[in-house]
Amino acid sequence: MKDFFYGIQDLFVDYLFAPFDALRAFELENWFGANIMSWIFLLIGMVAFVYWMMQLAKYNANNEEDKSVTAHSYL
């Protein structure tokens, strides 16, 4: 039974967490390079936010939405 848990430990430590160990070692040399995926995801999120706001502005410019107080029954 002990070998089973050591096998799980070896799987995670030696194989699945190896990329994180490499990033940790690379961070000492170049912080921006080690965080490149964070920068890419941040850029994708910013682009998606701007796109979504432009779509909302286009929808709002059509004046199709009923903005009266009684427009929705739950109000």
11-60 confidence digits (pLDDT tens):
999 999 998 888 888 888 998 888 888 999 999 999 999 999 999 999 88
Instruction: For residues 74 and 2, give the distance between their C-alpha atoms in angstroms, rounded to a whole number.
Output: 59
What is the pLDDT at residue 39? 92
Contact (CB, 8 A) for 16 and 22: no
Lowest mean pLDDT segment, chosen from 6-10, 55-59, 60-64, 69-73:
69-73
What is the pLDDT at residue 24? 86
What is the pLDDT at residue 60? 86
Instruction: For residues 42 and 51, give the distance between their C-alpha atoms in angstroms, rounded to a whole number.
Output: 14
Instruction: For residues 75 and 63, give the distance between their C-alpha atoms in angstroms, rounded to a whole number.
Output: 20
What is the pLDDT at residue 75? 57
